A and B are shown apart, each in its own frame.
Chain A
């Protein structure tokens, strides 16, 4: 009986978060032209990268462990993956804390972290057909990039883990709002650091070897570099090679470590929150 009752509560909660995701989807669908900007921005940025690497590879056969084709594919894959994993949980949480609106979450029978995750799911579902599919097709047909994963199942798992990890890392940044009043600067700093360490701007194999070794132990490479390498079908960083199932397993462990870190940080941060007359 108790089991059935608790199942009912869980079912209701899932229903609630599904509604949050759906409402977020509907809300952002009203601004779909904003999302459609990606159809211009993504290919234009890619075009510049395409010419940069074409020029660079005229002087070399391979660079940083990449051939020209692999390099162009790397940027293509990392661009489309970013549409699936993009996150702004940090901005949302910091805004709620700064304005005091976060107090309303403390009064509701809602866990904010799940609420924020549901929002992200709704937002990214919209992005899937508004950004991911069109840009994916542009890359295939306009640029002739082979965007077919070598191990489709592992690639999907890796992208899902990257989706959660991007959320958890950003949520940590958001939690810093409990300690700081104005956090725009810090947020931008952490985002820049995260993107550099994730391999968004340039593959991590271009960095000096000691830095590559440090990056192995940080969560950032698992957001972009790892899913991109899983998509390509091989992984190596800092002279260390892993098979695809191994690196996806390590990525899953990193997600668990981040869950633990977010939980600890949240418990410390929430004690500092105060909001009056919201």
Chain B
């Protein structure tokens, strides 16, 4: 009963924080609209390159344009959900550690992870989700419609892609605690995840192993797309198992870094 009350209280607090963030952002509607469009356009970088490659008569061997765009749309959709709803925790942690205000969250009667997520809702990133859904719909229109089981498998793998992004957010937030004020961890994230936007087969074997088994980046786009396309890859199982370990490792790393946090009281 107490646990249930705490859960309801947490959900209520979360929605309240989202409402406050939305209200604050709407004070500058023009900038919000422009930022949302920009976020969408910035995400279109990889699809635009794909389009230019195919429109110049070239291709990724064995992959049609809409198959590649499907991978990239799933990557965009995953980011479009992760960035507004929980990925803001990275920037939140980064700025709070620099300003010394993380202490305020540490003394509040809610979990630290929950608090840094709920105080970091970023509606600008919704543009990523809209763009992803649109590109997904366009790609699917040009591809054979998948069966029911394929959709179920896709849904499970898509959830795992969100789990992967959450694990990344935890690791980056943990890094932000000890690497004070370094906003370039976002660039590191973008660099690493750029492997996820293209067919696995274009990479060399060692890199394929790395993005399947060590850090299962393939789950962010390639594997969910491959089940929809009926191109089952034997590496999927390894990636699924690895993603669970990756999540556990990220929690461990975050807790370890929080224990190392020092401050003079804000």
Q: Which A residues are closer than 8 A to B by beta carbons? A: 31, 33-34, 37, 40-41, 44-45, 47-48, 51-52, 54-60, 63-64, 181-186, 188-189, 192, 201-202, 206-207
A44 touches B192 (CB 8 A): yes
Does B31 lie within 8 Å of A182, measured CB to CB? yes
Contact B38 A189 (CB under 8 A): yes
Q: Which of B179-204 contact A (CB under 8 A)?
A: 179, 181-182, 184-185, 187-188, 190-192, 194-195, 198, 201-204
Picked from A51, A185, A202, the residue with its CB within 8 Å of the CB of B32 is A185
> Would A56 and B187 count as touching, CB distance under 8 A?
no
B28 engages A181 (CB within 8 Å): yes
Q: How far is the CB of B257 from chain A (nearest CB, A)?
A: 16
User: In the docked arrangement, what's the CA distance between A48 and B28, Å?
Assistant: 37
User: Total interface residues on B, using CB and 8 Å?
Assistant: 40
Instruction: Give the residue of B58, B185, B188, B203 whose beta carbon is less than 8 angstroms from that of A63.
Output: B58
Let me know if B42 and A188 touch, CB within 8 A: yes
Give the distance in Å from the alpha carbon of A182 to the alpha carbon of B202 in the complex. 42
Given contacts A34-B184, A188-B42, contact A48 B198 (CB under 8 A): yes
Chain A residue nearest in CB terms to B192: A44
- Judge whether B242 is part of the interface by a CB distance below 8 angstroms: no
B182 touches A56 (CB 8 A): no
Asked if B35 and A206 make an inter-chain contact with CB atoms under 8 angstroms apart, the answer reads: no
User: Bound complex: CA of A35 vs CA of B61, how far in Å?
Assistant: 37
Residues of A within 8 A of B35 (CB): 184-185, 188
In the complex, the answer to whether A51 meets B187 with C-beta atoms within 8 Å is no
B59 touches A207 (CB 8 A): no
A34-B184, A56-B53, A64-B56 known; A189 vs B61 contact (CB < 8 Å)? no
* CB closest residue in chain A, given B187: A41
The A-B contact count (CB < 8 A) is: 95
Neighbouring B residues of A52 by C-beta, 8 Å? 49, 60, 198, 202
Please list 9 pairs of residues, one from A and one from B, whose beta carbons are closer than 8 Å in the complex, sorted by A's number: A52-B202, A59-B61, A63-B56, A63-B57, A182-B31, A185-B31, A185-B32, A185-B37, A206-B52
The answer to whether B188 touches A201, judged by C-beta atoms less than 8 angstroms apart, is: no
Q: Which residue of A lies closest to B34 (CB)?
A: A185
State whether A54 and B202 are in contact (beta carbons under 8 Å apart), knowing that A40-B188, A48-B194 are contacts in the complex. Answer: yes
CB of A60 within 8 A of CB of B207, answer no
Once A33-B179, A55-B60, A56-B53 are accepted as A-B contacts, the answer to whether A48 and B188 lie under 8 Å apart by CB is no
Asked whether any CB of chain A lies closer than 8 Å to the CB of B45, the reply is yes
Cβ-defined partner of A51 (8 Å) among B59, B185, B203: B203
Nearest A residue to B59 via CB reads A59
B residues 188-238 near A (Cβ < 8 Å) are 188, 190-192, 194-195, 198, 201-204, 207
Shortest B39–chain A CB gap in Å is 8
A186 in contact with B52 given A45-B191, A55-B202, A63-B58 (CB within 8 Å): no
Given contacts A44-B191, A202-B49, 17 further A-B contacts (CB under 8 A): A34-B181, A37-B185, A44-B192, A45-B191, A45-B194, A51-B207, A52-B60, A55-B60, A58-B61, A185-B31, A185-B32, A185-B38, A188-B35, A189-B38, A189-B41, A201-B48, A206-B53
Name B's interface SS: helix
- Residues from chain A with a CB closer than 8 A to the CB of B184 are 34, 37, 41
Nearest B-chain residue to A193, judged by Cβ: B41
Residue of A nearest to B41 (CB): A192
Bound together, the chains give a CA A177 to CA B203 distance in angstroms of 44
B234 to chain A, nearest CB (A): 21
Q: In the complex, what's the smallest C-beta–C-beta distance from B12 to chain A, in angstroms? A: 30
Q: How far is the CA of A206 from the CA of B202 in the complex (A)?
A: 21
Bound form: Cα–Cα A34–B181 in Å: 9
Q: Are A48 and B52 in contact (CB under 8 A)?
A: no
A185 nearest CB across to chain B (Å) = 3
Which residues in B have their C-beta under 8 angstroms from that of A60? 57-58
Residues of B within 8 A of A48 (CB): 191, 194-195, 198
A185 to B194, CA, bound (A): 24
CB distance from B33 to the nearest CB of A (A): 8
Most buried by B among A34, A56, A59: A56
Chain B nearest CB, measured from A62 CB (Å) = 10
Residue-wise, chain B 87-122 has the 8 Å CB interface mask toward A (1 for contact) of: 000000000000000000000000000000000000
- With both chains docked as a complex, state the minimum distance between the C-beta of A238 and any C-beta of chain B, in angstroms: 15
B15-37 vs A, CB cutoff 8 Å, 1 = contact: the mask equals 00000000000001011111101
**CA distance in complex: A189, B34 (Å):** 8
Q: In the bound complex, what is the Cα–Cα distance between A186 and B41 (angstroms)? A: 13
Kindly state the separation between the CA atoms of A67 and B118 in the bound complex, as whole angstroms: 50
* B contact residues around A47 at 8 Å (CB): 207
Q: How distant is the Cα of A69 from the Cα of B47 in the complex, in angstroms? A: 23
Q: Tell me the smallest distance from the CB of B92 to a CB of chain A, in Å.
A: 17
Complex: A51 Cα to B210 Cα, angstroms: 15
- Interface hits, B237-251 → A, CB 8 Å: none
A210 to B103, CA, bound (A): 56
Query: In whole angstroms, how far apart are the Cα atoms of A192 and B184 in the complex?
Result: 18
Residue from A40, A51, A57 within 8 A of B204 (CB atoms): A51
